[in-house]
Amino acid sequence: MGRIVQRFRSPRRQRGVAVITALLLTTLAISIVASLFWQQQVQVRSMENQRLHLQTHWILRGALDWSTLVLRQDAYDHPRYTALTHVWATPLAETRLDQYIERERVEGEVFDASLSGSIQDATSRYNLRNLASTTGTRTAIDAANLAIFQRLLTNLQINPALAKTAANLIAGSQPVIVPAGTVDPVTGQETGGQERDPAEAGNPDAGAVDGTGSDGAPDADQAATLPVSRTGLGTPMKFLEVEDLLAVRGMTPEMLEKLRPYVIVLPEPTPINVNTASAEVLAAVIPNFSLSEANALLARRRNVPWADIGNFQTGITGHTPVADSVSVKSDWFLVNSRIRLDRAALNAQALIQRSANPIGGGVKVVWVRQN
């Protein structure tokens, strides 16, 4: 009797194993199909992100073209001076691009694109490149500009002692162009016309480092410059942006953020435009000039900007700005752009140089930084 019961149970067990096997195979197949669909969805989303990335960059390119056109027109309209009352200083509020761009509509697509931005005068800020003075094969710290930077730090309630350390860093990082025809005293070979590190350029002539000539006598312009102290600097680093100030011992990120709106690093030394500079910068560039006096100066500037430097000096009777440190015209501008395209966003800042000669001169983009 037991054998008969066992014979009847065996087929049922086999059918149960078959059902479980079928369920496992079905689950495996569903998992494989789901994985394939997921990979395909990831690839599609990746392609969409790439498309949005390219489109935002094309919008940025159009924004920069528009900015160069505005600056070029401003050079024709106002060749003598640059002021905040001109068209270039008007910020662009957030503007929806789908109202201006003719494109084929895709079913189910939400084309949400907008552009906003502004143009700022780069020379309204203090150019840290002014701290270095290069003459021939000699690089030193410009004493007058060091005093300006110290006053700026004081106005911002930052330790002014950091100015000397920063000046050492900046002056020590400047490359030196050796004049054509210069012969290396060690190798006897001509090294002229080459760009050399200031530390190397200073080896044949001690004046490149300590402010004295090869005979040990002080330079004629030693009063206007200070020697570069390389103690603790190590290998000179290239100073390219404001963030490089963090290499200065004692400079904190909080100090840098406080200083950022008032300083900039440009490819070459530049004067400060008094028509666009802030009160803190004006008070720094004019010795014995207080912040309250600078604010009063800005109040007068809102009504009538200065058309030439003579009018500016008349307005600050009793004070004299540092020689060659101020101007009323600008050739360097910062273009800030913010682009939104669906779920993509792009913030960019570009440095634009405008030719000093509006007739036949051009406008070029020097660099673009994105985040």
pLDDT by residue (tens digit) across 6-23?
A: 555 566 667 777 778 888
The confidence score (pLDDT) of residue 37 equals: 78
Q: How far apart are CA 281 and CA 274, in angstroms?
A: 9
DSSP 3-state of 304: coil
- Above pLDDT 90, what percent of the chain? 47
DSSP 3-state of 78: coil
Residue 252 has pLDDT above 80, yes or no: yes
In terms of average pLDDT, the best of 109-113, 216-220, 222-226, 251-255 is 251-255
Average pLDDT in the chain: 80
Residue 203 has pLDDT above 50, yes or no: no
The confidence score (pLDDT) of residue 276 equals: 97
CA angle 258, 260, 265 (to 5 degrees): 150
DSSP state of 176: E
Strands 326-327 and 272-273: parallel
In terms of average pLDDT, the best of 105-119, 215-229, 266-280, 345-359 is 266-280
Reference 230, options 198, 271, 192, 194; nearest CA is: 198
Q: Which residue has better confidence, 292 or 177?
A: 292
Q: How far apart are CA 134 and CA 309, in angstroms?
A: 26
Q: How far apart are CA 105 and CA 88, in angstroms?
A: 34
Q: Which residue has better confidence, 109 or 1?
A: 109
Length of the chain: 371
Reference 327, options 272, 270, 250, 266; nearest CA is: 272
Q: Which of 80-94, 217-231, 313-327, 336-350 has the lowest mean pLDDT?
A: 217-231
Reference 128, options 116, 142, 138; nearest CA is: 142
Residue 234 has pLDDT above 80, yes or no: no
Residue 138 has pLDDT above 80, yes or no: no
Contacts of residue 49, defined as CB under 8 A and 6 or more positions apart, other chains included, come to 344
Q: How far apart are CA 156 and CA 160, in angstroms?
A: 9
User: Sheet containing 225-226: which strands, arranged edge to edge?
Assistant: 132-135, 138-142, 225-226
Reference 198, options 135, 246, 282; nearest CA is: 135
Helices (H), the chain: 2-77, 143-155, 162-173, 198-201, 207-210, 253-259, 279-285, 291-303, 309-315
Partnered with residue 368 across adjacent β-strands are 350
The confidence score (pLDDT) of residue 119 equals: 97
Q: How far apart are CA 155 and CA 293, in angstroms?
A: 13
Reference 350, options 340, 329, 364, 361; nearest CA is: 364
Q: How far apart are CA 181 and CA 10, in angstroms?
A: 104
Phi, psi of 311 (to 5 degrees): -65, -35
Name the token pair of 99. 């109202």
- Above pLDDT 70, what percent of the chain? 74
State how far the alpha carbon of 299 is from the alpha carbons of 279, 304, 305, 336, in Å.
Answer: 10, 9, 10, 26
C-alpha count within 13 angstroms, C-beta hemisphere, residue 83: 19
Reference 339, options 61, 112, 114, 48; nearest CA is: 114
What's the average model confidence in pLDDT over 204-227? 45
The confidence score (pLDDT) of residue 211 equals: 40
Q: How far is CA 284 from the centre of its chain?
A: 22
Q: Which of 219-233, 293-307, 317-331 has the lowest mean pLDDT?
A: 219-233
